[in-house]
Structure 1
Amino acid sequence: MTDSTTTTVRAALSGLSVEEKASLTSGESFWRTKAVGDIPSVMLTDGPHGLRKQREGGDHLGIGDSVPATCFPPAVALGSSWDVELAERVGAALGVESSIEDVAVLLGPGINIKRSPLCGRNFEYLSEDPIVSGVLGTALVRGIQSQGVGASLKHFAANNQEGDRMRSSSDVDERPLRELYLRGFQRVVEDAQPHTVMCSYNRINGVFASENPWLLTDVLRTEWGFEGLVVSDWGAVNDRVAALRAGLDLEMPGSGGQTDAQVAAAVADGTLDEAVLNASAQRNADLAVRWAATPRAEGPLDVDAHHGLAREAAARSIVLLKNDAPEGAAGSILPLRPDQSIAVIGAFAEKPRYQGAGSSMIRPTRLDDALTSIRAAAGDVVFARGFSVAIDVSSEETARLRDEAVSTASSADVAVVFAGLPARLESEGYDREDIDLPADQLALIDAVVAANPRTVVVLSNGGVVALPFADAVPAIVEAWLLGQAGGSATSDVLFGAVNPSGKLTETIPRRLEDTPAFLNFGGEEGHVRYGEGLFVGYRWYDARRMDVAYPFGHGLSYTTFGYGDAAATTTFGDVEVRVTVTNTGDRDGHEIVQVYTSLPGSTVQRAPRELKGFASVALAAGESREVTILVRRADLAYWDVRAQRWVVEGGDYMVEVGASSRDLRTTATVAVTGDEVRLPLTRESSLAEVMAHPVAGPMVQAALAGMAQMMEGASAIMPEGVSMDKMMGSFPIGRIGMMAGGQVTPEMIDGLIAAANAPQQ
């Protein structure tokens, strides 16, 4: 905020009544805030991968009649680019389109963790890992806000399923809540200061997110330093006064003044401090006045340029899962050659599924399909629909479509099957029931492969799917939901005009039963127990040494990359990792260099390895480059439940660098100095904890030396190798007297505790 804007806001608020200030903190309509006095109304509208602005006179949701806008790749795809610079450029384009349409706040990005592949809204989220979500989320926010438009970071927090989302309680222990589900939000807030944060519908450990002062005030504002406005998800407010008191600044949509009256009455009867209302009113006024003073981007929109960016982003987001040679052939099946005869099969090639269903549905400025683009790139292309996405399809029609596809594929040099999830199987508002492709599509793939082993499968899906055909086909392309230019981008990758460089930001499991939240997802009686704790995504599979279809971070290229020896050093507390990467193939390409850390012998529970940094590196064929990746000291910290703060445990950290979580090419070790954690001792403190205490430890050692004869006698009757220290290590110090034969009195124990807890000089 500039000084002049601050002055304007203060002047505008100074003469307002309590009722007028209350009205500032709720919407006028579905998409707009109220204009009060000199404070203007502003529009907030849906994203996150495009502008979904309702046309004048359209339905109140605007889903059926929004203005045309560029549909960029949804987060499920863009996350797989792992490219910070690309994400920021997409964000800036979103900001430009919002500014042209006089939209003050674009509702996005969404950075919730992909706890389970069953979440119906996973297509709007970036990753199963908080570092990926936080870094790419920061880039998107910076891009959007570079145009003066506010971002709305969502959905805060622990919103990891759609089923019963308006009421259910996400019951999460402190460490996973902090280390997984809040960590990405913390990164974005601290690095990018989004203008708004959107609170989610759900409860967190029994308390609605909209009424949670610990979440909205203690953590978000006090700990992380958030300076902006907290807005509700649409319809997330349960109790307006409680929400305002907790730190919620803006209820959306408006209630026709009903909840404004509740707020004014609460101030009048003293149940709501007027200072709380004043603070929220000021934040709303700040947002509105800042937007009024912000120059708008000049229109009209450069549709071609933004479509070109959408095509670039889509191509960079495609993940090449597999690329082998067909049986009896030499060389990989991809890229395709224009002189090949190509059979294109599958309804999605002709009518692409390019975005998820629900509030984020964008009306695109144009729409590319893969079939048209493939025909433009190759001369001999035939097409068969192969399957129908309609709900009620007869078995006869299913068989006819499959037989037609088999006939089409049998005589072609290569068959490309476009398969995926129909829109009805994944949507906002409800969750998936399984991770399987429809049975008719699986049968189609089997039949096509039997007729033509030279088959490529291209997937269109917003969440991962099981791949029972993986061993049978030579190539699999994970094309996600790619936005409006996805068809041409897919053709670019298939023919090698763009070298694929996307990598998975979520693990593809072999079975739903293998997934971390399998026994806990969905919950019952309004509670969802996050029983997998810290072990979400690749952390779970690695800890259990479990086979997966394709691991986190995996993605192939038409070229190859070699890694030199990694080196790791500490720099001002952070860890600097350096490694030379070489493009050892004959094509230019991007490599996603990933850095994972672990601490052998850690005193707290940890995953075998955790991603802590990454970089997207462009390398020409034959080029080598030293890549430097900074691992922040804060990202090495775990949440100490006892101390109620972040703690970096000291020790020799293993740093693993590679091409995926299971393709680790080089390892280094770096010594990291730990944070001192001195907890108050109590009678419940264990003997081991007392012995480790810098004050109490030496005192106890001296006392034990005086009891040496007794200790030696006890040790003498123990079997060889049994450790008395380990046996007694967990014994509470308050009960040690019973083992000391009267030599240790309660007064002595209390004196020891008092000495240990006394302020140190």
Structure 2
Amino acid sequence: MKHQDLTSKMTLEEKAAILSGKTVWQTMEIPRLQIPAIFCSDGPHGLRRQAGEGDHLGLNASLPATCFPTAATIANSWNTELGEKLGSALGEEAAAQKVDVLLGPGLNIKRSPLCGRNFEYFSEDPYLAGKMAASYVRGIQSQGVYACPKHFAVNSQELRRMAMDSVLDERTLREIYLTGFEIAIKEGKAKAIMSSYNEVNGTYANENPHLLLDILRKEWGFEGIVVTDWGASNDHAKGVACRSNLEMPAPGLDSARELLEAVESKKLSMDELDQCVDDLLEAILELSVQKRGAEFDQKKHHEIAREAAEESIVLLKNEKQVLPLKAGTKVALIGDFAFEPRYQGAGSSMVNPTRLETMENEIMHYDLQLAGKCRGYRRTGENDTALEQEALHVASQSDVILYCFGLDELSESEGLDRAHMKIPQNQIDLLEKLFQCGKPVIGILSAGSATEMTWEKNLTAIVHGYLGGQASASAMLNVLTGRVNPSGHLNETYPLDYEDTPAYHYFPSEERTAQYREGIYVGYRYYDTAKKPVRYPFGYGLSYTTFAFSDLKEEENGISVKVTNTGDTDGAAVVQMYVSLPKARVFRPEKELKGFTKVFLKVGESRTVSIAFDDKTFRYWNNKTGGWEIEEGEYLVAVGENCEAIHETMTVHRAGSTVEIPDVYQKEMLPSYYNADIQNVTDSEFAKLLGHEIPSGKWSGSLNKNDAICQLYYAKSPIARLIYRILTSMKNKSEAKGKPDLNILFIYNMPFRGIAKMTAGAVSRDMVDGMVTAVNGHFFRGLGQIIKGYFVNAKANKAYEKKLEQTGAEK
């Protein structure tokens, strides 16, 4: 241990107390030993440091900060240098606002397009996600601030996220859901990581020894701190035993007493407690000597936000080269998003921007004639004939129609998964009427994740800005007018229909269990292998110029390829390297992304770029031997502009390390996985893949502390069912307004145990037990437990506080 001299001076009560937060955002300080508190803040794409009393979901205002594009947007840049630059700006703002740990970036895999938080995650591909996350981490930590990648791990849905078990096989866990985190830890050197709400194969992530000890600490060599997601602690003692160092937000001293009881009963050893305290002290002492409070350059950071948005915009369609717009083009600006932009998602990541651009205002600074501007539709989805007629009139006065549309706030939010992949129908109805005007319609799309695009035939061009942050309007206009040549490429696949997605039958979950039956076939890995047509493939993106690839060669430890700008505009190419093993014995996807680089080329310029092989290029996880291995064979290395547009291929031989193929990995035993026919995997086949029986996720007849409050609808207590109806009504009313009440959603999906972890010590574990007793039909007995628990908890809290004060006075 690094700080044994300090831990030896701490009392047992101080050790137990310091491992939980004091407030929503601050850790506990120990004044007598001059151990200060450190401050955490949300910040995947911009800082959300609240000025007054903190709350997890952002009801109280936060200090102004630069709202950069979301992770899903920046991943479209395929530029790790840009990620590092953005991360450095985030770290600089964190330091300026006296924040020590920035809670981000978000690193979960986009298993399904319907996850409500996909806007906060990089990609469906773990390699791209990991490389981009590592770049953010390097940038943030260059400013003396800890980055905290989240949510570790297999956190792919918002529905009942605190009361849900992710069930998957070890190979899928390793190859898909952990690889991004591995890259962020090993290459980014992240000094903190956030554990997720859910269970992973029956054990909560924050107390999962396989995740936190076997993999994170031992295999990856992580020496930083593990921070729980806010309210994610289930059994605090088990978490500490797994070196989870900081339980947040502010569970109160009942959590500290839980550790004291665990030490006394030998459930938790003193060595385990001391190790956890030592890890946290290392972070506190390192962070407390960093300079904090300096001003940051708001103008410069706004320009970085614009640069990031520009490089991440994806040109999906450009018929007749309608773009870029010629100087003096007479345009109609139509769409509610032109006036009130969708530039970030909703939830704990919501930023109070230092400045916010709109298309309505920014278009005045460009050499375009504005025929008119109007909202055209209601973003909340209601039909409005008057707005439609105004839009059609404005369109009739123009030569080109700029139509700003996309997903509204209700579609993409923490705490709420999407119900479908569609754009609100009233926006599409207006689009179809604009198309009938017979003029080019340029669709300017705003959304944080994939949508169905049956309407694309009504658009001459489609420019996808994702959620581009506070400078997204000028970034978009720079692309539309040709000041910037678009170079973004999709970080995810756009399927033809939601029914085509690999997890269609398995997402989000059946009662408490989310079964990852699709296995390793996530995103393009499925579409490619199953030969399923898509709207836009993974890695897709157009440019105002063209590129040629040639002279693919194998180097000592990688490949090189010549890229030439063959068009008439300077621009940047994204070179993507995919690897496959055509005659593999172990089933695997058709191809997998294993390297990429972005190169800017002037007209006619050629450049030879190199992409290195690394430890992830040829590996697969062998469930039988419990390790990473290479299967011997002739690997196909393919280079292109997206996973379907492959321009150059070559084969490279690799000697194998595999001696034992897993017994179950035979075509006759796992036909669905060898054929990538994984939308209807049977129970018996999934059980074979898991290597054990499928755990039941059925809710029992009685609720327990780990069941979610939304399950009160079948509680035995009529009062509990009434509470459920009231809460559901409040939830539905907030959603009907178009902007969900995030605190209601949080409560709706929270398990009973979370009440004890999210109320700053006002509610104890014993009181939660009383609540569970009450909702299970024993109302008065439960009420008695709650009342008794209240007084016992209050008395115990005072006694603990007094002991801490006396210790301080004595020393």
TM-score (norm 2): 0.80
**Aligned to 2:6, what secondary structure does the other structure show?**
helix
Which of the numbers 563, 586, 594 marks the counterpart of 2:549?
A: 563
- Say whether 1:534 aligns with 2:529: no
**Aligned to 2:85, what secondary structure does the other structure show?**
helix
Tell me the residue number matched to 1:41.
37
- Residues 52-100 of structure 1: CA deviation (Å, up to 9, x unaligned): 0010346575443100000000011001000000000000000000011
Partner Cα distance (2:471, 2:211) in 1: 39
**Aligned to 2:150, what secondary structure does the other structure show?**
strand
Partner Cα distance (2:665, 2:357) in 1: 66
**Aligned to 2:23, what secondary structure does the other structure show?**
coil
Checking the alignment, whether the CA contact within 8 Å between 2:52 and 2:60 is kept in structure 1 is no
**Aligned to 1:660, what secondary structure does the other structure show?**
coil
Partner Cα distance (1:633, 1:288) in 2: 33
Tell me the residue number matched to 2:373.
383
Partner Cα distance (2:54, 2:158) in 1: 27
Partner Cα distance (2:472, 2:187) in 1: 31
- Residues 287-340 of structure 1: CA deviation (Å, up to 9, x unaligned): 1110112233x6222000000000000011100000011xxxxxx100112311
Partner Cα distance (2:619, 2:16) in 1: 41
Checking the alignment, whether the CA contact within 8 Å between 1:27 and 1:250 is kept in structure 2 is yes
Checking the alignment, whether the CA contact within 8 Å between 1:333 and 1:475 is kept in structure 2 is yes
1:272 alignment partner AA: L
**Aligned to 2:641, what secondary structure does the other structure show?**
strand
| 1:676 CA drift (Å) | 4.4
Checking the alignment, whether the CA contact within 8 Å between 2:622 and 2:661 is kept in structure 1 is no
Checking the alignment, whether the CA contact within 8 Å between 1:410 and 1:448 is kept in structure 2 is no
Query: Measured at CA, do residues 404 and 242 of structure 1 come closer, stay the same or move farther in structure 2, by a change above 3 Å?
Result: same
- Residues 606-647 of structure 1: CA deviation (Å, up to 9, x unaligned): 111111000011111111000101121333200000110000
1:161-560 map, 5 Å:
161-296=157-292, 299-325=294-320, 332-381=321-370, 382-390=372-380, 393=382, 395=383, 398-560=384-546
Tell me the residue number matched to 1:709.
none
1:607 alignment partner AA: P
1:343 alignment partner AA: A
Partner Cα distance (1:407, 1:452) in 2: 13
Partner Cα distance (1:125, 1:680) in 2: 33
Partner Cα distance (1:110, 1:51) in 2: 14
1:622-641 map, 5 Å:
622-641=604-623
Tell me the residue number matched to 1:77.
73
| 1:685 CA drift (Å) | 13
Query: Measured at CA, do residues 627 and 685 of structure 1 come closer, stay the same or move farther in structure 2, by a change above 3 Å?
Result: closer
Query: Measured at CA, do residues 61 and 603 of structure 1 come closer, stay the same or move farther in structure 2, by a change above 3 Å?
Result: closer
Checking the alignment, whether the CA contact within 8 Å between 1:70 and 1:364 is kept in structure 2 is yes
Partner Cα distance (1:169, 1:268) in 2: 31
Worse overlay, 499-508 or 368-377? 368-377
Checking the alignment, whether the CA contact within 8 Å between 2:43 and 2:349 is kept in structure 1 is yes
Query: Measured at CA, do residues 142 and 377 of structure 1 come closer, stay the same or move farther in structure 2, by a change above 3 Å?
Result: same
**Aligned to 1:365, what secondary structure does the other structure show?**
coil
Tell me the residue number matched to 2:136.
140
Tell me the residue number matched to 2:784.
none
Checking the alignment, whether the CA contact within 8 Å between 2:399 and 2:439 is kept in structure 1 is no
Query: Measured at CA, do residues 350 and 132 of structure 1 come closer, stay the same or move farther in structure 2, by a change above 3 Å?
Result: same
| 1:284 CA drift (Å) | 1.0
Partner Cα distance (2:280, 2:616) in 1: 32
1:607-618 map, 5 Å:
607-618=589-600
Partner Cα distance (1:44, 1:10) in 2: 25
Partner Cα distance (1:155, 1:94) in 2: 19
Checking the alignment, whether the CA contact within 8 Å between 2:357 and 2:474 is kept in structure 1 is yes
Checking the alignment, whether the CA contact within 8 Å between 2:317 and 2:542 is kept in structure 1 is yes
| Count of matched residue pairs | 664
Partner Cα distance (2:368, 2:225) in 1: 55
Between the aligned residues of both structures, percent identity stands at: 44
Structure 2: gaps of 5 or more residues: 669-811
Partner Cα distance (2:555, 2:560) in 1: 9
Partner Cα distance (2:80, 2:365) in 1: 32
- What is the root-mean-square deviation in Å for CA atoms of aligned residues? 1.8
Checking the alignment, whether the CA contact within 8 Å between 1:157 and 1:199 is kept in structure 2 is yes
Partner Cα distance (2:60, 2:22) in 1: 22
| 1:570 CA drift (Å) | 4.5
Checking the alignment, whether the CA contact within 8 Å between 1:410 and 1:452 is kept in structure 2 is no
1:276 alignment partner AA: E
Partner Cα distance (1:126, 1:460) in 2: 16
**Aligned to 2:535, what secondary structure does the other structure show?**
coil
- Residues 363-388 of structure 1: CA deviation (Å, up to 9, x unaligned): 00000112222221034211121101
1:2-13 map, 5 Å:
9-13=3-7
| 1:23 CA drift (Å) | 1.1
Checking the alignment, whether the CA contact within 8 Å between 1:63 and 1:359 is kept in structure 2 is no
1:9-158 map, 5 Å:
9-36=3-30, 37-57=33-53, 62-158=58-154
Partner Cα distance (1:386, 1:465) in 2: 21
| 1:511 CA drift (Å) | 0.3
Checking the alignment, whether the CA contact within 8 Å between 1:54 and 1:63 is kept in structure 2 is no
**Aligned to 2:405, what secondary structure does the other structure show?**
strand
Checking the alignment, whether the CA contact within 8 Å between 2:73 and 2:312 is kept in structure 1 is yes
**Aligned to 1:182, what secondary structure does the other structure show?**
helix
TM-score (norm 1): 0.85
Partner Cα distance (1:260, 1:438) in 2: 48
Partner Cα distance (2:469, 2:547) in 1: 29
- Say whether 1:620 aligns with 2:602: yes
**Aligned to 2:470, what secondary structure does the other structure show?**
coil
Checking the alignment, whether the CA contact within 8 Å between 1:203 and 1:209 is kept in structure 2 is yes
Partner Cα distance (1:156, 1:668) in 2: 36
Query: Measured at CA, do residues 48 and 685 of structure 1 come closer, stay the same or move farther in structure 2, by a change above 3 Å?
Result: closer
Partner Cα distance (1:236, 1:685) in 2: 36
Query: Measured at CA, do residues 379 and 492 of structure 1 come closer, stay the same or move farther in structure 2, by a change above 3 Å?
Result: closer
Partner Cα distance (1:216, 1:15) in 2: 28
- Residues 203-246 of structure 1: CA deviation (Å, up to 9, x unaligned): 11111101101111111001111110111000001111111112
Checking the alignment, whether the CA contact within 8 Å between 1:583 and 1:624 is kept in structure 2 is yes
Partner Cα distance (2:99, 2:291) in 1: 12
- Residues 511-536 of structure 1: CA deviation (Å, up to 9, x unaligned): 00001110000111200111111110
Checking the alignment, whether the CA contact within 8 Å between 1:241 and 1:262 is kept in structure 2 is yes
Checking the alignment, whether the CA contact within 8 Å between 1:44 and 1:103 is kept in structure 2 is yes
| 1:190 CA drift (Å) | 1.1
2:582 alignment partner AA: P
1:645 alignment partner AA: G
Partner Cα distance (2:475, 2:658) in 1: 52
2:15 alignment partner AA: K
